[in-house]
Amino acid sequence: MLPVNEAERIILDLVQVLDAEKNSEIVNLENAQGRILAKTVKGKLDFPHWDNSAMDGYAVSYADVKDCSEASPITLKVVTEIAAGDRPKTKIKPGQAARIFTGAMLPEGADAIVIQENTIREGDQVTILAAPHPQEFVRHQGAFYQAGTPLLEAGVNLVAPEIAVLATAQCTQLSVYRRPRVAILSTGDELVTPEQTLLPGQIVDSNQYALASFVANNGGIPVKLGIVPDQPEILKNAIAEAIESVDVVLSTGGVSVGDYDYVDRILAELGGTLHIRSVAVKPGKPLTVATFANHNCLYFGIPGNPVSALVSCWRFVQPALKKLSGNNNYQPHFVKAITRHDLKAGGKRETYLWGQLHLVDGEYEFTLAGGSHSSGNLINLAQTNGLAIIPVGQKLIAEGEEARVMLID
């Protein structure tokens, strides 16, 4: 049994970020949500695009007004009005000002903005009651970004702020990593689909659905291969096909030590190297991780128990999928939380207990999911957003004490 951290390190070492040259595709900005840039973006426009006003007021020449004050105001002639979106029609000559609004382009000859609160307007005259600072309230062209320099680097995850940046720079065609294809295969003679009539003794294949949701949520393309019976030849063919066609295989079931657990043997027969066979973790001890000399495919043999399957995915598969997708810096999110219940474990394996994290006065609190914490209880896994961790060697984190909790997103 490998310690959890060691298993995590081995998995991440096995994963190579997809080669950007061979594994990128072009998407429109509309479809860029959640994608990862494969190529650094360089914009063609400065930002701001041109000198503009940060306030409503008057665009003036600093030299005209630098000495004015409430005691000795200066009056200028307002020769034009510039709203956001207007192109200035005239240039400002000495003794002149332009009425200007936030975001509007600065006219030639102006180099400072006097806010309207410091002025009195009468007809086409404006009296300036306070001298601005040089360049005051002018947003200079290129002050925030210069065209041709890197705007967003490769590896950046595109969500709202990045998408805003790309929109403003009019970068609408983006090279992003392709989504990794992840096959999902449920092994077990006892399994039926949610649509099939359930005969006595059978079990519904929830893993197929849970894992497909998990994969999609982590930027992958789920390739649902369905249910495969515990028959070595059929299973071998299904696994052989899967490893040829996808980046990652997630199979559930058949990795324990039961009479019908064939997965490890089949992987070895197919030329796989088994890097991990079990991890000192609860739930989720039987975890197989394999690679193949002739296929660029990472194989996770995950326990069939639905709770174990999801915990294994959150703890071990998620970092691998993130790295594979181009996000080299992804780390699981751990937070400190005060537990509202006693958290109990056996002490031999790193134990993950599911429940809810809440922010109370800026501090996290952890509430254990109600009901049984046997790994057979799938029902109380719903609404989980945190897994409290009890380290090896520890049997109790008492109510009111601090626990380390993994955030599930």
Q: Which stretch binds Mg ion (CB under 5 A): 104-112, 128-136, 245-253, 345-353?
A: 245-253
Q: Of these, 2, 59, 191, 389, which contacts ligand AMP (CB under 6 A)?
A: 191
What is the amino acid identity at position 304? G
Q: How far is the CB of 7 from Mg ion (least distance, A)?
A: 22
304 sits near ligand AMP (criterion: CB under 6 A) = yes
Query: Which residue of 56, 86, 189, 190 would you call a contact of ligand AMP, by CB under 6 A?
Result: 190
- Cα gap 320→324, rounded to integer Å: 6
Could you tell me which residues come within 8 angstroms of residue 344 by beta carbon, excluding any fewer than 6 positions away? Answer: 390, 395, 396
Q: Is 258 in the site for ligand AMP (CB under 6 A)?
A: yes
Distance of alpha carbon 312 from alpha carbon 278, whole angstroms: 11
Partner that binds at residue 327, options Mg ion, ligand AMP, none, CB closer than 5 to 8 Å by kind: none
Minimum separation from the CB atom of position 286 to ligand AMP (A): 7
Q: In this complex, which beta carbon is closest to ligand AMP, that of residue 192 or of residue 338?
A: 192
77: CB partners within 8 A, 6+ apart: 95, 96, 97, 124, 125
Select from 13-21, 168-176, 298-306, 349-357 the region that touches ligand AMP (CB under 6 A).
298-306
Q: Residue 189 interacts with ligand AMP (CB under 6 A)? A: no
Nearest in space to 339 (alpha carbons), one of 313, 306, 364: 364
Query: Contact between 284 and Mg ion (CB under 5 A)?
Result: no
Torsion, Cα of 24, 30, 31, 35 (10° steps): 60
Give the nearer residue to Mg ion in terms of CB position, either 132 or 254. 254
Strand order of the β-sheet with 181-187 is 221-228, 181-187, 248-252, 298-302, 288-292, 272-276
Measured CA to CA in angstroms, residue 138 lies from 24, 49, 94, 171 at distances of 40, 13, 19, 26
Tell whether residue 206 is a contact of ligand AMP (CB under 6 A).
yes
Interface with Mg ion, residue 253, by CB under 5 A: yes
Nearer to ligand AMP, 67 or 259 (CB): 259
Of the pair 309, 321, the CB lying nearest Mg ion is at 309
Residue 220 or 303 with smaller CB distance to ligand AMP: 303
**Alpha-carbon gap, residue 162 to 272, rounded angstroms:** 40
Task: Tell me: does residue 303 bind ligand AMP (CB under 6 A).
Answer: yes
Write the DSSP assignment of 25-47 as a string of letters: EEEEGGG-TT-BBSS-EE-SS-B
CB of 85 to ligand AMP, least distance (A): 58
Residue 194 lies near ligand AMP (rule: CB under 6 A): no
Cβ atoms within 10 Å of 289's Cβ, excluding its own:
25
Asked if 283 is part of the footprint of ligand AMP (rule: CB under 6 A), the reply reads: no
Give the contacts of 38 (CB within 8 A, at least 6 positions apart). 20, 23, 24, 154, 175, 176, 177, 326
Q: Does residue 205 interact with ligand AMP by CB under 6 A?
A: yes
- Report d(CA 281, CA 308) in Å as an integer: 10
Q: Which backbone phi and psi does 188 adopt, to 5 degrees? A: 150, 130
| Residue numbers 212-241 binding Mg ion by CB under 5 A | none
Number of residues that bind ligand AMP (CB under 6 A): 17
Among 24, 119, 252, 384, binds ligand AMP (CB under 6 A): 252
375 binds ligand AMP (CB under 6 A): no
Least Å from the CB of residue 254 to Mg ion: 5
**Least CB distance to ligand AMP at residue 22 (A):** 33
Query: What b-and-e string marks burial along 179-191, b requiring 16 or more CB atoms within 10 Å of the CB?
Result: bbbbbbbbbbebb
Among 305, 318, 339, 384, binds ligand AMP (CB under 6 A): 305
Give CA–CA dist 2/308, Å, rounded: 16
DSSP 162-190: HHHHHHHTT--EEEEEPPPEEEEEEE-TT
301 is an interface residue for Mg ion by CB under 5 A: no
Among 130, 192, 203, 221, contact with ligand AMP (rule: CB under 6 A): 203
**In the stretch 168-207, what mask flags binding to Mg ion with x, by CB under 5 A?**
--------------------x-------------------
- Strands 125-128, 74-82: parallel, antiparallel or unpaired by DSSP? antiparallel
Q: Which of 119, 186, 291, 339 binds ligand AMP (CB under 6 A)?
A: 186
Q: Dihedral sign, CA of 274, 275, 278, 282?
A: negative
List residues binding ligand AMP (CB under 6 A).
186, 188, 190-191, 203, 205-207, 252-254, 256, 258, 303-306
List residues binding Mg ion (CB under 5 A).
188, 253-254, 304
